[in-house]
């Protein structure tokens, strides 16, 4: 169960860590389960946890004034998800996080986060790199959204994260790519013709 967390930490830090060290970290977190459609965080309410997804999938989004849902992040097991703005500022969440399947997570609250910073030697660095990576991904996505066509973006996503295409509904993939479900449907039709 905790294997995926260990792997995640080692990937981020770029070096192996001792099981004991993972246990220290695990003691600060608690397991939590959600059903499909449950909300792990709600827009407008405080988001006081950072989640590591052990099993299942979920996504974060916000709702536009016109009612349109905008997908911010898609995440399956082995990934972290939260509304960091809310978590670190104690302010209301900008995003909602919803389970797409039954989800098992490890949750870290603000108090435990502080404690992890103070007591686990590699935690500061780990977390900094985690955010850095997220930041770099975000900047890349921004660049791609501007320059590439929707079809290219879809194909790159398919190649980079085929699991997402399998498991996440198409209208959420569309939103994540920055297009409407109808457009993605047409793109897929086109791609099929070509192939």
User: Segment contacting its own copies (CB under 8 A): 35-43, 142-150, 158-166, 183-191?
Assistant: 142-150
The site for DNA (CB under 7 A) is made up of 149-151, 169-171, 178-189
Query: Which residue in 90, 102, 131, 156 binds its own copies (CB under 8 A)?
Result: 131
128/130 Cα distance (integer angstroms): 5
Which of 147, 159, 193, 195 forms a contact with its own copies (CB under 8 A)?
147
Stretch of residues binding its own copies (CB under 8 A), selected from 28-36, 40-48, 80-88, 151-159: 80-88
Name the binder of 54 from DNA, its own copies, none, CB < 5-8 A by kind.
none
Binding mask 32-71 for its own copies (x = CB under 8 A): ------------------------------x-x---x-x-
Question: What value, to the nearest 5°, has the Cα angle with vertex 88 and ends 82 and 89?
Answer: 120
With residue 181 as reference, give the H or E element that holds it: helix 181-194
Q: Least distance from C-beta 99 to DNA, angstroms?
A: 13
Q: Phi-psi region for residue 78, left (φ > 0), alpha (ψ -120 to 50) or beta? A: left
Helix (H) or strand (E) holding 61: strand 57-63
185 binds, among DNA, its own copies, none (CB under 5 to 8 A by kind): DNA
Binding site for its own copies (CB under 8 A): 62, 64, 68, 70, 72, 84-85, 88, 117, 124, 127-129, 131-132, 134-136, 138-139, 141-143, 145-147, 178
């Amino acid at each position: 169960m905790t294997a995926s967390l260990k792997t995640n930490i080692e990937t981020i830090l770029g070096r192996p860590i001792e099981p004991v060290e993972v246990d220290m970290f695990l003691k600060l977190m608690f397991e939590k389960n959600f059903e499909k459609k449950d909300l792990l965080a709600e827009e407008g309410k405080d988001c006081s946890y950072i989640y590591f997804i052990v099993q299942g999938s979920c996504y974060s989004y916000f709702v536009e004034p016109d009612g349109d849902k905008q997908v911010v992040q898609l995440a399956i097991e082995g990934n972290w998800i939260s509304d960091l703005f809310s978590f670190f500022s104690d302010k209301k969440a900008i995003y909602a996080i919803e389970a797409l399947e039954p989800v098992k997570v490890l949750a870290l609250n603000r108090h435990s986060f502080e404690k992890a910073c103070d007591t686990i030697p590699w935690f500061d660095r780990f977390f900094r790199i985690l955010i850095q990576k997220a930041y770099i991904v975000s900047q890349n996505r921004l660049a791609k959204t501007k320059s590439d066509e929707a079809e290219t973006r879809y194909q790159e996503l398919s190649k980079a994260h085929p699991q997402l295409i399998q498991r996440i509904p198409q209208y959420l993939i569309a939103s994540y790519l920055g297009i409407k479900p109808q457009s993605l449907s047409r793109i897929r039709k086109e791609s099929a013709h070509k192939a």
